[in-house]
Amino acid sequence: MELQVQHALNWIEKTNEKIQTNKDYLSALDRAIGDGDHGLNMARGFQEAVGKTTSSSYTSVSDIFKDVAMTLMSKVGGASGPLYGTAFLKMSMAVKGEDSVSHERFTKGVEEAINGIIQRGKAKEGDKTLLDVWTPVLRMLQEQSDFEADSLENTAKSAMESTKDVMAIKGRAAYLKERSIGHLDPGSVSSYYLFASLAEVLKEGE
Ligand SMILES: Nc1ncnc2c1ncn2[C@@H]1O[C@H](COP(=O)(O)OP(=O)(O)O)[C@@H](O)[C@H]1O
Ligand SMILES: [Mg+2]
């Protein structure tokens, strides 16, 4: 299947729903190893993003991702705004030129998003950041030739859960060194919501 404009709109809306529902949980996770604002940051950013996408009309997935990127970058304080913003901007650029998005193009988009996140945040996989979810998801996408909702959901979930046992090297949690072990990375949990929402959209589109 291809990711159509309506799928992309649904993806952003579903992500926002999960983030609003789990806003306090995300902030509690961030309170344990950061400054406690991740829920607020993500809730504000995605609420604004949905405000933008639902009040606009689109002919391409690329334009949706671009509006999401611009909104997240301008409305979200904290590290996560520019990082998610960069991710959506890179995905927008990677899928530009066609109205809908093939699995191959989307995979390329996730790869570019990760490159952008690394360029901005200088973290790598294993540093207990949202890259610990994005990178296994990319590997899974690269191993497959079409969208597979269940593997997407499972991969993102187990990757998110794995951040618990890891010591933070980047982000605020890195100040805690060993004491960051035993806590989930907040940004990995919000990234799990993002990919779990995409998995739901893909299932509905089948
Ligand atoms: N340098 C980085 N590279 C990648 N992701 C990062 C980096 N720094 C922080 N993050 C992600 O951002 C999340 C924290 O976001 P948030 O609380 O909104 O911003 P802040 O850390 O500025 O308070 C972390 O859980 C982590 O996943
Ligand atoms: Mg924070």
Q: Which of 129, 170, 188, 194 to mutate to test the pocket of ligand 1 (most atoms within 8 A of CB)?
A: 129
Residue whose Cα lies nearest atom 6 of ligand 1: it is: 129
**What pLDDT sits at residue 9?**
98
Q: How many CB atoms lie within 10 A of CB 49?
A: 26
**What pLDDT sits at residue 205?**
80
Span 117-139, average pLDDT: 98
Rounded distance from Cα 30 to ligand 2 centre (Å): 6
- Single out the residue of 38, 39, 19, 119 nearest to residue 79, CA to CA: 38
d(CA 94, CA 28): 34
Question: Is the distance from CB of 79 to CB of 171 less than 8 angstroms?
Answer: yes
**What pLDDT sits at residue 6?**
97
pLDDT in tens, 38-79: 999 999 999 999 999 999 999 999 999 999 999 999 999 889
**What pLDDT sits at residue 118?**
98
Provide the residue ranges of all domains of the chain, joining segments of one domain with +: 5-205
Rounded distance from Cα 79 to ligand 2 centre (Å): 7
Residue whose Cα lies nearest atom 15 of ligand 1: it is: 80
**What pLDDT sits at residue 126?**
98
The CATH class of the 5-205 domain is: mainly alpha
Is the distance from the beta carbon of residue 79 to the nearest atom of ligand 1 less than 6 Å? yes
pLDDT in tens, 130-164: 999 999 999 999 999 999 999 999 999 999 999 99
Rounded distance from Cα 85 to ligand 1 centre (Å): 12
- Tell me the two tokens of residue 104: 């191959």
The share of the chain scoring above pLDDT 70, in percent, equals 100
Residue whose Cα lies nearest atom 13 of ligand 1: it is: 187
pLDDT in tens, 7-33: 999 999 999 999 999 999 999 999 999
pLDDT of 206 above 80: no
Ligand nearest to the CA of 40: 1
Question: Is the distance from CB of 18 to CB of 114 less than 8 angstroms?
Answer: no
Question: Is the distance from CB of 41 to CB of 22 less than 8 angstroms?
Answer: no
Is the distance from the beta carbon of residue 37 to the nearest atom of ligand 1 less than 6 Å? yes
- Tell me the two tokens of residue 50: 């949905």
